[in-house]
Amino acid sequence: MATPRRTRRGRRPGTSDTREAIAEAARRCFAEVGYDRASIRVVADQAGVDPALVMHFFGSKQKLFVSVMSLPFEPEDVLPALVTGRSSQAGARLARFIVGVLEQPQPRTVFTGMVRSAAAEPEVADLVRDVVSSRMIGAIATGLAVADAPLRASLVASQIIGVIMARYVIRIEPLASLTPDALVEALSPNLQRYLTGPLPVVPGPEPAHEAGAL
Amino acid sequence: MATPRRTRRGRRPGTSDTREAIAEAARRCFAEVGYDRASIRVVADQAGVDPALVMHFFGSKQKLFVSVMSLPFEPEDVLPALVTGRSSQAGARLARFIVGVLEQPQPRTVFTGMVRSAAAEPEVADLVRDVVSSRMIGAIATGLAVADAPLRASLVASQIIGVIMARYVIRIEPLASLTPDALVEALSPNLQRYLTGPLPVVPGPEPAHEAGAL
């Protein structure tokens, strides 16, 4: 792999390839060893470039993380349609989409990297919370269009984060070796309940006195 | 706090108090900063003892982790009775027990410490997987006493690990500020489905041709 010298603002052939090679190496490092142990030096080594070039392109480890951990899809474009209308198929559609994303190597490294890094460092947990809350949960809540949509979406997030940890990070069996189709089938009714089933009534501006039926 | 000097095998008053003070400091460190950043030195500082004393009692950081991250209950004594007989109340009983444990500060630090540290370091993920698989999942499977009990128990584990991450580590709202009672109500039917509802048939020694009804 080429090891271009540090450039000064001017564009030249190969710059975007080099940036992408660094981003790809960083994505892999964060996913494999977590935020704390992923160093600029190791990322540079794996990309075959000088560490100074990583700093040139990204500025700091935290900025590198935020930059490369961008979501492999636009939540606002995809998620509302999956859950809209409180359809009885919403859980199955969402499960199929999420498992489909997680079963592809590169998108999976983004999500495992986000979850592992959130567990390692409070500042990164803040970043991940913002992404999950404002984008993922916001998009699901938009599709649901009900008063308790944020609670529903955050419960969905808890199950998906749990699958990422249990299946892909800790690798608990037999969940870890379940086929993707069986995983979709296992998850669908549970996501469906979070999306459209009865939930506890959580006090809002007006105190609620009735609990949702179980 | 007292800073006893290193002892040579002999017991003397205060030794078990000191050991417990170190264990308590270590539990807090692992939960708050994760395995990677928790150092013997910081643990010793927080316990008010010399780092050599930590090594004297525990031998290494990894042994310290395994020792202090012991479960706050005996899974084999508690879990089978909660889920036995495939009762329609098994999900609610299990949710109430788990949320009850997680809402107490010290047991919570054990579980958040385990999950955070599993995310940080592969060797620790192996330890956590062993505890979760052989003890937690084993105990739930014993109570269920059905052929697909390990799959059911590992799905339960995915939801519980997801709640630990989403509510207590990443702190995703509104899940993070849900009352314990509302959390139990939100989780119970989903745990119930994993424990007793229809699941995909996973091929065992004999190939399965029918999928579980959804």
| Burial per residue of B85-101, b for 16 or more beta-carbon CB atoms within 10 angstroms, e otherwise | eeeeebbbbbbbbbbeb
Residue A23's pLDDT is: 92
In this predicted structure, which of A27-31, A198-202, B68-72, B120-124 has the lowest mean pLDDT?
B120-124
Chain A residues with CB inside 8 Å of B179's CB?
A: 202
The larger pLDDT score, comparing residue A10 to residue B136, is at B136
CA distance A125 to A69: 13
With 50 as the cut, is the pLDDT of residue A4 above it? no
Which of B130, B136, B158 is most worth mutating to test chain A (most A CB atoms within 10 A of its CB)? B158
Contact: B169, A119; criterion CB under 8 Å: yes
Please answer whether residues A53 and A4 qualify as being in contact, where contact means their C-beta atoms are separated by less than 8 angstroms: yes
Place of tokens 């091929």: B203
**Chain B nearest C-alpha distance from A2 (Å):** 32
Q: What is the pLDDT confidence band of residue B14, given thresholds at 50, 70 and 90? A: low
String of DSSP letters for chain A? ---PPPP-S---TTHHHHHHHHHHHHHHHHHHHHHHH--HHHHHHHHTS-HHHHHHHHSSHHHHHHHHT--SS-HHHHHHHHHGGG-TTHHHHHHHHHHHHHTSHHHHHHHHHHHHHHHH-HHHHHHHHHIIIIIIIHHHHHHH-STTHHHHHHHHHHHHHHHIIIIIIS--TTGGG--HHHHHHHHHHHHHHHHHS--PPPP-SSPP--PPP-
Contact: A185, B200; criterion CB under 8 Å: yes
Interval A133-178: pLDDT, tens: 888 899 999 999 899 999 999 999 999 999 999 999 999 999 999 9
Predicted-complex ipTM score:
0.80
Residue A14's pLDDT is: 63
Chain B residues with CB inside 8 Å of A91's CB?
A: none
Q: What is the pLDDT confidence band of residue B47, given thresholds at 50, 70 and 90? A: very high
Residue among A118, A158, A189 minimizing CB distance to B214: A189
Please answer whether residues A111 and A161 qualify as being in contact, where contact means their C-beta atoms are separated by less than 8 angstroms: no
Residue among A132, A165, A178 minimizing CB distance to B202: A178
Enumerate residues 6+ apart whose C-beta is below 8 A from B166: A154, A157, A158, A161, A162, B172, B175, B176
Q: What is the pLDDT confidence band of residue B10, given thresholds at 50, 70 and 90? A: very low
Tell me the percentage of chain B whose pLDDT exceeds 90: 53
Residue among B125, B160, B188 minimizing CB distance to A170: B125
**Chain A nearest C-alpha distance from B45 (Å):** 21
- Which residue of chain B is at minimal alpha-carbon distance from A32? B122
CA distance B26 to B15: 17
Angle (CA) A88 B176 A37, round 5°: 105
Place of tokens 């006893």: B4
CA distance B163 to A161: 8
Contact: A159, B162; criterion CB under 8 Å: yes
Contact: B189, A197; criterion CB under 8 Å: yes
* Burial degree of B199 (CB within 10 A; 0-12, 13-18, 19+): buried
Chain A residues with CB inside 8 Å of B158's CB?
A: 159, 162-163, 165-167, 172, 175
Contact: B193, A197; criterion CB under 8 Å: no
Residue A2's pLDDT is: 45
Residue B8's pLDDT is: 42
Lookup: tokens for B193: 């489905």
DSSP B13: T
* Burial degree of B189 (CB within 10 A; 0-12, 13-18, 19+): buried
CA distance A23 to A36: 17
The larger pLDDT score, comparing residue A83 to residue B12, is at A83
Pairs of residues, one from chain A and one from chain B, whose beta carbons lie less than 8 Å apart: 182
**Chain B nearest C-alpha distance from A200 (Å):** 6
In this predicted structure, which of A63-77, B94-108, B119-133 has the lowest mean pLDDT?
B119-133
Residue among B120, B133, B179 minimizing CB distance to A119: B120
Chain B residues with CB inside 8 Å of A160's CB?
A: 162
**Chain B nearest C-alpha distance from A13 (Å):** 38
Please answer whether residues A119 and B30 qualify as being in contact, where contact means their C-beta atoms are separated by less than 8 angstroms: no
DSSP B99: H
